[in-house]
Structure 1
Amino acid sequence: MTGTSLDRHVQRYAQRTSGMRASAIRALFAVANRPEVVSLAGGMPYLRSLPLESLAAEAAALVAQDGLVALQYGSGQGIVELREQICQVMSLEGIKAHPDDVMVTVGSQMALDLTTRIFIDPGDVILAEAPSYVGALGTFHSYQAQVVHVAMDDDGLIPAALVAAIDACRTAGRRVKLLYTIPNFHNPAGVTLADARRAEIAEICRTAGIAVLEDNPYGLLGFDDRTRRAIRADDAENVMYLGSFSKTFAPGLRVGWVLAPHAVREKLVLANEAATLNPPVFNQMLISRYLATFDWQSQIKAYRHTYAERRDTMLAALTDLMPEGTTWTSPDGGFYVWVTLPEGFDASAMLPRAVTARVAYVPGTAFYADGLGTRQLRLSYCFPTPDRITEGIRRLAGVIAGELDVMRTFGTSPLRAVGGPSSPAPDTA
């Protein structure tokens, strides 16, 4: 396309396209997928433990027996059988729900998009943890929302910081619509919201007239075999709950859901029909058969065991290999460790040198709406084997040590601290 032609199209773009941003993670894929590079960047589930041959037979039987339904158009809300099963899955987290209030989506990312679409006008505020999921930030920006971050510590979102953020927005005349939160095994911070804070945060939002968007793709992947009670379990009227089969089954099927109060669900179904007509029926029916036929809870236990082993490997390697002044979180579930580099570091600027050393990560600035996070980076332990994780951390530690040598040579004095678990975002306010 010529420059003149490109300019002509740019002039036609809607104003909201100015908020669209390239994903920092997607931009890394081309490099991170090279076999010589140890990728600690992407949050890809480890699928080798799935019963692939049995699933292939189930998929073939689905086409042979119910192909006229599975390959046809379907309901914009999703098939009833799967919505009933989703209610059973959510019951593990204390949620009592009716299938009528569940809407199936093309992954929980679409649920994020549709929820933002029906609630947010340009300039509205969405409160989100600092840091927050990069895919959510991209969606919020695309609808011209203003994201205001709320500080976390090792016990998750801080209630007092939430109150302060709400008060500051209202004093400035800004309209706050939603709190977006990932309470369990946070992406990217790896921390979990303390049980005692959940009801308090729900009450703060309910009193302030702010809806809660609870995103919980990792909730069943706790390493202590304890399932945390969802915020939605104790507040059915003000909390919209997002779930997904991407982390507990297979992301390639792109099946997620949103549980919402009845009136909100009606709007969501209309928005879903406008976006896709209906979520793929074949994918829904395959997952429904999987839930009905396979021991899916044992499969989740297998995932937990695999990810716990890899988490332990990563934490041990960080402890053994990272230079002093580097700190990190210690997740009790999920996929991620959040690392804070010594004073004076810039994780984005360091990334090319890391890739040259054949290791990849996601710089922390991708997880903030306001440019913070320069000293942070996200590491994922879900996909690489333990040996690859250890090698990846060895390469990364070498890059950091090399940067420290350069900084000392030029007279800088990085902050000295003992490596180990720390607050997920020590440089945020």
Structure 2
Amino acid sequence: MTENSPVTPLSGPTVPDPHHSRYAARTTAMVPSEIRDLFAANGNPDVISLAAGMPELGALPLDTLSAQVAQIVANDGLTALQYGPAQGLPPLREQICDVMALEGIRAHPDDVVVTVGSQMGLDLVTRLFCDPGDVVVAEGPSYLGALGSFAAYQAQVVQVPMDGHGLVPEGLRAALRQARETGRRVKLLYTIPNFHNPTGVTLAVERRAEILELCRAHGVLVIEDNPYGLLGFNGQTYPALHSLDPDNVVHLGTFSKTLAPGLRVGWVLAPPTVREKLVLATETATLCPPTLSQTVVSHYLGAHDWQGQIKIFRENYQERRDAMLRALKAHLPPGCTWTRPDGGFYVWVTVPEGVDTRALLPRALAAGVAYASGTGFSVDGSGHRHLRLSYCYPTPERIREGVRRLASVLESEGERARPAAGAVTPHHGQGRSRTA
């Protein structure tokens, strides 16, 4: 490689990078996600974006929030605009414990570390546990932000199968056994058990204990990423993995989906020894999480009916989910199947044999609709027969029109499309999420 090897900037043409030879070796794994550029479609009125998982914030009590922010700055600005503790503000950590209690977690505020969104928590946990070459097991497909963090720390990701009931225990057992037989060390299991990103399925309750027992038996720490757990459409919550095995599960949470992502407030609940190292890692990364954002969230939780607000969000997302499912049934050509999520933001679509969703994306954009190709959610670039649709942000009317446009693009491949055969799963058929 030369000193001036090319690099593709966030926008614009490829340009030489004079710093290429100076970068650390681990940066070779840091590549743009397939979805990042699709966020730009949200600003284009001619394109209906079903790609990005952006919360719909129209139901937020903005008048209440603006009054609270003004009051905070006027009355407590000298504190709220100052540095704070690296672990996060104590009152907020107590309130986070109340939030987690809704999913069966009994936690102490001392074991909570506030982070700049749960993505920061995931990155810190990966930094603490993964040396280059260590193995992380994850669902296949999996959240692309997690795959990016694991790649940045040079971990090897092994993805195991899912079906309509979530992560398949036998697939996990086989992956752990194979890693042991080949001398590779599995450090982490990364999982999104509730309303999974990207498939929308939920891990069956009866599988949860089995998966935790497997991980404990093999000395594998479980990372439970739970951004959507309170967004079940029937109001039902599921027992958090942390509630079943608190000593071997690190729980990631966030207010990005139940309040607002722009505040960038998340948290990690970890065993005490892990917590101490997380606090040290936070100090080196940010010194402390933003005090003003934490204060805003804490005042909101203390003064507003936040559970009632979550109920409003659930109802809005359920309306959008229903609009998408009806549109898919009405418009998609034969051979297409999809999941039926009971919460969260996403539907996972399988297209007929011979259709490549990544190759088809430019045509979809030209037709005025954006989606996320399934290839971005797999470490090996597979997933060409899959795509993720997000129903969280567009209005029901835009969802219906977006699906109609998508269907017209898929129908242009009609002579190649044929009904899928075989088992029904999120990978190869209409694997539906299960209400356990």
Separation in 1 of the partners of 2:428 and 2:420? 13
Give runs of aligned pairs for residues 344-359 of structure 1, distance below 5 A.
344-359=354-369
Give the superposed CA RMSD. 1.5
Residues 188, 223 of structure 2: 8 Å contact kept: yes
| Greater Cα shift, 364-373 or 238-247 | 364-373
Shift in Å at residue 64 of structure 1?
Answer: 0.8
Provide the residue aligned with 1:233 in structure 2.
243
Please give the per-residue CA displacement for 1:321-361, whole angstroms capped at 9, x wherever unaligned: 10000010000000000001100111010000000000000
Residues 128, 147 of structure 1: 8 Å contact kept: yes
**TM-score normalised by the chain length of structure 2:** 0.94
**TM-score normalised by the chain length of structure 1:** 0.95
The residue type paired with residue 86 of structure 2 is G
Give runs of aligned pairs for residues 74-153 of structure 1, distance below 5 A.
74-153=84-163
Separation in 2 of the partners of 1:25 and 1:343? 23
Separation in 2 of the partners of 1:231 and 1:3? 48
* 1:397 is the counterpart of 2:407: yes
Separation in 2 of the partners of 1:288 and 1:139? 29
Residue number among 311, 319, 323 corresponding to 2:333 in the alignment: 323
The residue type paired with residue 31 of structure 1 is A
Query: Aligned in 2, Cα 1:382/1:422: closer, same or farther, shift over 3 Å?
Result: farther
Shift in Å at residue 318 of structure 1?
Answer: 0.4
Secondary structure, aligned partner of 1:309: helix
Shift in Å at residue 26 of structure 1?
Answer: 1.2
Residues 41, 48 of structure 2: 8 Å contact kept: no
Please give the per-residue CA displacement for 1:397-416, whole angstroms capped at 9, x wherever unaligned: 00000122xxx3xxxx5432
Residues 4, 19 of structure 2: 8 Å contact kept: no
The residue type paired with residue 418 of structure 2 is L
Give runs of aligned pairs for residues 5-44 of structure 1, distance below 5 A.
6-44=16-54
Provide the residue aligned with 2:164 in structure 1.
154
The residue type paired with residue 423 of structure 1 is T
Query: Aligned in 2, Cα 1:34/1:422: closer, same or farther, shift over 3 Å?
Result: farther
Shift in Å at residue 426 of structure 1?
Answer: 2.6
Which structure's residues are more often helix, by fraction? Answer: 1
The residue type paired with residue 229 of structure 2 is G
Provide the residue aligned with 2:418 in structure 1.
415
Provide the residue aligned with 2:195 in structure 1.
185
Separation in 2 of the partners of 1:111 and 1:140? 13
Please give the per-residue CA displacement for 1:181-231, whole angstroms capped at 9, x wherever unaligned: 000000000000001001111111011100000000000000011111101
Separation in 2 of the partners of 1:21 and 1:335? 25
Residues 327, 422 of structure 1: 8 Å contact kept: no
Separation in 2 of the partners of 1:359 and 1:131? 23
Provide the residue aligned with 2:77 in structure 1.
67
* 1:252 is the counterpart of 2:262: yes
Separation in 2 of the partners of 1:36 and 1:90? 40
Provide the residue aligned with 2:428 in structure 1.
426
Secondary structure, aligned partner of 1:24: coil
* 1:303 is the counterpart of 2:313: yes
Shift in Å at residue 32 of structure 1?
Answer: 4.1
The residue type paired with residue 364 of structure 1 is G
Q: For structure 1, which runs of at least 5 residues remain unmatched after alignment?
A: none
Separation in 2 of the partners of 1:400 and 1:316? 17
Residues 127, 179 of structure 1: 8 Å contact kept: yes
Give runs of aligned pairs for residues 329-348 of structure 1, distance below 5 A.
329-348=339-358
Provide the residue aligned with 1:48 in structure 2.
58
Separation in 2 of the partners of 1:27 and 1:144? 24
Separation in 2 of the partners of 1:298 and 1:7? 51
Percentage of identical aligned residues: 62
Provide the residue aligned with 1:274 in structure 2.
284
Please give the per-residue CA displacement for 1:282-335, whole angstroms capped at 9, x wherever unaligned: 000100000000000000000000000110110000001100000100000000
Residues 328, 422 of structure 1: 8 Å contact kept: no
Separation in 2 of the partners of 1:119 and 1:426? 34
Separation in 1 of the partners of 2:57 and 2:17? 44
Shift in Å at residue 171 of structure 1?
Answer: 1.2
Please give the per-residue CA displacement for 1:23-63, whole angstroms capped at 9, x wherever unaligned: 22211122342011110001111111111011100000000
Separation in 1 of the partners of 2:135 and 2:248? 17
Secondary structure, aligned partner of 1:74: coil
